[in-house]
A and B are shown apart, each in its own frame.
Chain A
Amino acid sequence: SQELEQSPQSLIVQEGKNLTINCTSSKTLYGLYWYKQKYGEGLIFLMMLQKGGEEKSHEKITAKLDEKKQQSSLHITASQPSHAGIYLCGADIGGSGNTGKLIFGQGTTLQVKP
């Protein structure tokens, strides 16, 4: 099973609607990263969360990390076609042997209908 579970796997929303993507782990997350990817291209860094209860926003995107640091959500307000793409959560699950290693969820494919 995946160390990081993302849900939903895919999402189709009407432009202007709000949406939420979740990322869950059974382990404590020492750093949680959200990236966006256009199909077949590199990952674009969105936000990083480290502290339990932390919340960050950039433009219309808000990410939160729960108090236990095992679940994160990414919320998009008033979605636009430019928000379409694949959203990936990546995490540092800690341990001295995990230097520089991020574990990724399977991704959430978002389509925004004009």
Chain B
Amino acid sequence: KAGVTQTPRYLIKTRGQQVTLSCSPISGHRSVSWYQQTPGQGLQFLFEYFSETQRNKGNFPGRFSGRQFSNSRSEMNVSTLELGDSALYLCASSRLSRDTQYFGPGTRLTVL
């Protein structure tokens, strides 16, 4: 089975812009979770989607949003980028919400 894929792998944006990241889960997995990883805060949960519905959300501002499509692919969007949004964004998929999560390679976002 193909693993979790994320596109793009690297992204450079400037403050104030918006960005959309994409995640394709493992075939048959219906849950997609997103995490932000920074040197200072570590790995933090952003949100989880299951069957196109957001099931859970972490403590991030409303500038961070996401969605999931009927084929379980997910996107996350960050609007009005700030320097502090520079991070590795990881998505993980699981068969069901409480199953083992398998991670993609991540998208490295740099905000200048």
Q: Interface of A with B (CB < 8 Å)?
A: 31, 33, 35, 40-45, 48, 88, 90, 92, 97-107
Contact = CB atoms under 8 A, between A and B. Distances in A.
B97 A100 contact: yes
Contact of B90 (A43, A92, A105, A106): A43
B112 interface: no
A42 B58 CA distance: 20
A56 to B, nearest CB: 12
A102 B46 CA distance: 10
B70 interface: no
A39 B101 CA distance: 19
B61 to A, nearest CB: 18
Counting chain B CB atoms within 10 Å of each CB, the highest count among A31, A41, A88, A92 belongs to A41
A102 B45 contact: yes
B88 A40 contact: yes
B43 A100 contact: no
A83 to B, nearest CB: 19
Interface in B92-112: 92, 94, 97-98, 100-106, 108
Contacts, number: 64
Contact of A100 (B33, B42, B108): B33
A88 to B, nearest CB: 7
A88 B45 contact: no
Interface in B32-79: 33, 35, 42-45, 48, 50, 55-56, 58
Contacts of B58: 101
A103 B88 CA distance: 16
A100 B100 contact: no
Given A100-B50, A101-B48, A106 B98 contact: no
A92 B98 CA distance: 8
B22 interface: no
6 contacts: A35-B103, A42-B104, A45-B103, A90-B43, A101-B33, A101-B45
B108 A40 contact: yes
A50 to B, nearest CB: 10
